[in-house]
Structure 1
Amino acid sequence: MIKVVLVDDHALLRSGLAGIVADLGYQVLYECDNGRQLVNEIDGRELPDLVLMDINMPEMNGFETTLWLKKNYPLINVIALSMRDDERSIIKMLRNGAQGYILKDIKPSELKAAIDAVSTTGYHYSEHVTGNLIHTAKLSADTDVLKEHNLKPKDIHFLKLICTEMTYKEIAEHMNLSPRTIDGYRDELFAELGLKSRVGLVLFALRNGIAQIE
């Protein structure tokens, strides 16, 4: 049985979610109000297989807590469960080590699919949030992808910057290029790699060692 911990500062929502998770056949080990409580609780207790992680929380938010877990308990999977579907939040959670990102308005069946997918394949990203990421996640880091796609130094530099929280405008300024040129780089990579979103580019870069999780 998959053991789950819930981290969310909304007590009523968290209680309802705990009931759903249990009804889906998983074991809820315990619940936490925020990341700080999880850090305090996890030592000395049975370790979960998976943490359902909210992002907006007091004291220690989901970004910080996910990064802490990846550094201290790398075998624990994390699924971000949030109302936020903006690009920056998704990218930051991926960089910090989340294996999944789903929205709070999903159906219980979708939650079950996400938990099962992360537990078996190591990743799950909602189509609503990330578009064509499943294709990207399946790209093997063992394949010489860089040569296969004939990526140039400017492409590598651009992909590294894409994995930061910079906007496209800020990336253009950093590379001393016009926003239109940066848009051209992005669109060329979309076409070359068969991707449709910035998050897809981020996963490609992370999976193939172009950028590292810090």
Structure 2
Amino acid sequence: MEDNVQLGQDIRDKLALSEEMEVLFEVQNGKILLQRLSMGTIPKVLLMDINMPEVDGIEATWRVKELYPVIKIIILTVMDDEKKLFEALQAGATGYLLKDAKPHQLLNAVDEVLEGGLPLSPSLAYQVLAYLKGEKHVPKRPIAAFEVLSKREKEVMEFLKRGLPIKQISEELFIANKTVRKHLENIYEKLHIHSYKELIAKINGDERN
């Protein structure tokens, strides 16, 4: 998904080097992407830009993974930005490459996500490792009682414990889906976790203590 015509052509040229890959469609923003997916054309992998009008790549990733969890999403961007990297991973992206990636790097990344891997641009790989080791953040705090969360974040977490999807949580709390996702992002950041699975493990671990 690319809103810059020339960059979009460059990406297609790289993908064309593989006879095993087929480009099903190209759209200019997340809103059009969701409309296209709703028509039944479901690719195995999406290449997603971040900086786009109407619905950006991070929000589009959240929405696609909520509606079509089977789709693998690789962020392909010019933004060598740690914050955007982790926002993308939290949203459900399964790879993050810079647009100057060589053709073989892009093709290998597509193969890697299909095999369950997490391809990253070399310049970003160290940042992820450092983040996972806690080197770029304050030491993890004990989260018994989840005292670090706001009242609203705790409410969202309680609904997550019950297995409610984002849409239903938004209806229960009378807030937008996007707001629920923002609360979820804040919960992940405050608890130093990166997925719904880790959140449930933290909740269950706290309840046993």
Task: Name the aligned partner's letter for residue 198 of structure 2.
Answer: G
> Counterpart of 1:107?
102
CA distance in 2: counterparts of 1:109 and 1:211, whole angstroms: 38
SS at match of 2:40: coil
CA distance in 2: counterparts of 1:211 and 1:100, whole angstroms: 23
TM normalised by structure 1 equals 0.62
> Counterpart of 2:13?
19
> Counterpart of 2:193?
205
Over aligned residue pairs, what C-alpha RMSD do you find? 3.2
- Distance change (3 Å), C-alpha of 1:134 and 1:47: farther
Task: Name the aligned partner's letter for residue 61 of structure 2.
Answer: T
Deviation (angstroms), 1:106: 1.1
> Counterpart of 1:40?
35
- Distance change (3 Å), C-alpha of 1:77 and 1:153: same
TM normalised by structure 2 equals 0.63
Q: How many residue pairs end up in the alignment? A: 153
Q: Percent identity?
A: 31
Task: Name the aligned partner's letter for residue 3 of structure 2.
Answer: D
Equivalent pair of 1:124/1:134 in contact (CA under 8 Å): no
> Counterpart of 2:181?
none
List gaps (5 residues or longer) in structure 2: 133-139, 150-188, 202-209
| 2:117 maps to 1:129 | no
CA distance in 2: counterparts of 1:154 and 1:48, whole angstroms: 39
Task: Name the aligned partner's letter for residue 73 of structure 2.
Answer: V
Higher mean C-alpha deviation, range 117-126 or range 61-70: 117-126
Deviation (angstroms), 1:132: 6.6
Task: Name the aligned partner's letter for residue 14 of structure 2.
Answer: I
- Distance change (3 Å), C-alpha of 1:205 and 1:211: farther
SS at match of 2:76: strand
Moved over 4 A (4+): 132-137
1:59-208 to structure 2, matched below 5 A, reads 59-131=54-126, 133=128, 153=142, 205-206=193-194
Which structure is higher in strand share? Answer: 1
Equivalent pair of 1:34/1:59 in contact (CA under 8 Å): yes
Equivalent pair of 2:72/2:113 in contact (CA under 8 Å): yes
CA distance in 2: counterparts of 1:20 and 1:153, whole angstroms: 47
Equivalent pair of 1:80/1:100 in contact (CA under 8 Å): yes
Deviation (angstroms), 1:211: 8.0
**Superposed CA offset, 1:17-64 (max 9, x none):** 112212223110010011111111112232100000000001111011
> Counterpart of 1:56?
51
> Counterpart of 2:135?
none
Equivalent pair of 1:125/1:134 in contact (CA under 8 Å): no
SS at match of 2:23: strand
Larger relative contact order (C-alpha < 8 A, sep ≥ 6)?
A: 1
